[in-house]
Each structure stands twice: as C-alpha cells, then as structure tokens.
Amino acid sequence: MIHSLRGTVLSVGDETIRLEVAGFGLEVYASGSLLARSVAGKELSCLAWLQVSDAGMSMFGFSDESERSLFLELTQVKTMGGKLSISLLRHLGAGAIVSAIMASDASRLAIPGLGPKRAERICFELRPKIGKKFAHLASGGTEIKASVSVDGEVISGLVGLGFSQGEAAHAVNLCRSEGGDREWSEEDLMMSSLVRLQRR
C-alpha cells in the first residue's frame, strides 16, 4: 500500500493536485490543508491512500496522519466513498468535522453532494469512535466553522471577479496558513487574497 508521496507539484486544481513522482504524473485528490500547501513548481510531501474500486483507482492526499485516519473512518460510513470523504475534508477541515460529529450537529456537515440524511448517518455511526480517537482535533471547532463560512464568501467573490475556484481557494488558504492565528474579516481576507492572485 502507498503510504506517502514526495515530488514536484505540476499544477493545482479545484479538487486535485498533479504531482510528479519519480517520473510519473499522479493526480491526487487533496484535503483543504494539502491544497493550501501546494504550489506549482515546488516540492511537496504528503501522506497518501490509494483506493481501488470497480470504478478504477483513486489517489488521496493528506497533510498529516490525523486527516488520513479521519478520512478512513468516513469511508467506513455506508454510502460514503473516498471522493465524498475527501470533499468533506476539503470544504471543512478535520477540526470542524470532528466538532460537528461530537456535537451530533449534522447541519454543520452540509457541503455540495452530501445531504442531511447522509450527514446524520455520519454523526450516528462515528460519534462513538470520534470522541476517543480524535478529541484533540475538536478544540476550536466553532472558530473553524466560522472561518469556513468567511472563506466561502471570499472564494465566491473572487470567482465572481473572474478567477477560477481553484485559484481562489488556493489564495485564501495561503492567507490562512501564512496569517497564523490572525482573525480575518471578510474584507481583509478578500484584499489579501487579491494581492496574492495578482502576484501570480
């Protein structure tokens, strides 16, 4: 089984990164934090999981072991495949997901493609496991959820200005990662993201 990948980032998309590893170009479905670290032309290391199904093979990438472990727990929930599980990690992040499950708040798991019944199933099936295994990720869950809401508004605004979803999300994630614990207003995050996009 493939445990990790290291190579040069060829491109960064809305959902995936293309990574050149030992001469092979791999398409990797990435978590939000991994997308934020991915810069075309730069070297990148990540943890990985290769899923083999009737539909073919899919590679998933993560920033750390907690993300990968949570991803694997999500894929154990009935009707939750790898692509929907990584989409949840890309939209919300591990901390917000764990906080929502521990609070049995299915509404906080609402993302495109994941309806309320499926979200309720995630909370019901995973809550007994999540509390013990991922409690350390739950701190700051409320703040994470709030930041996700601000990020979504800024990304929508940037897309409205003509940037692609991938470019907008990447710029916002860079601002978040470089800003540390800074509390961003929607206006400040929009302006900082625009500066990064214009530099590119």
Query: Per-domain residue ranges for the chain?
Result: 4-62, 66-138, 141-199
Any alpha helices (H) in 60-115, and if so which ranges? 65-75, 82-91, 94-102
Which percentage of the chain shows pLDDT scores above 70?
Answer: 91
> pTM for this structure?
0.69
* Cα gap 130→136, rounded to integer Å: 10
Q: Do domains 66-138 and 141-199 have the same CATH topology?
A: no
Average pLDDT over residues 156-179: 78
Mind listing the pLDDT tens digit for each residue in 59-103? Answer: 999 999 999 999 999 999 988 999 999 999 988 888 888 888 888
Q: Which fold has domain 66-138?
A: DNA polymerase; domain 1 (1.10.150)
Residue 91 makes CB contacts below 8 A (sequence gap 6+) with: 32, 111, 112, 148
Determine the average pLDDT of the residues in 35-60: 90
CATH of 4-62, one of 2.40.50.100, 3.40.190.10, 2.40.50.140, 3.40.50.300: 2.40.50.140
Within the chain, what is the greatest distance between any pair of CA atoms? 47
**Fold entry, domain 141-199:** Helicase, Ruva Protein; domain 3 (1.10.8)
Contact by Cβ (8 Å): 166, 11: no
Distance from chain centroid for Cα 87:
6
Residue 141 has what pLDDT? 43
Those residues whose C-beta lies under 8 Å from the C-beta of residue 79, and which sit 6 or more positions away, are 118, 121
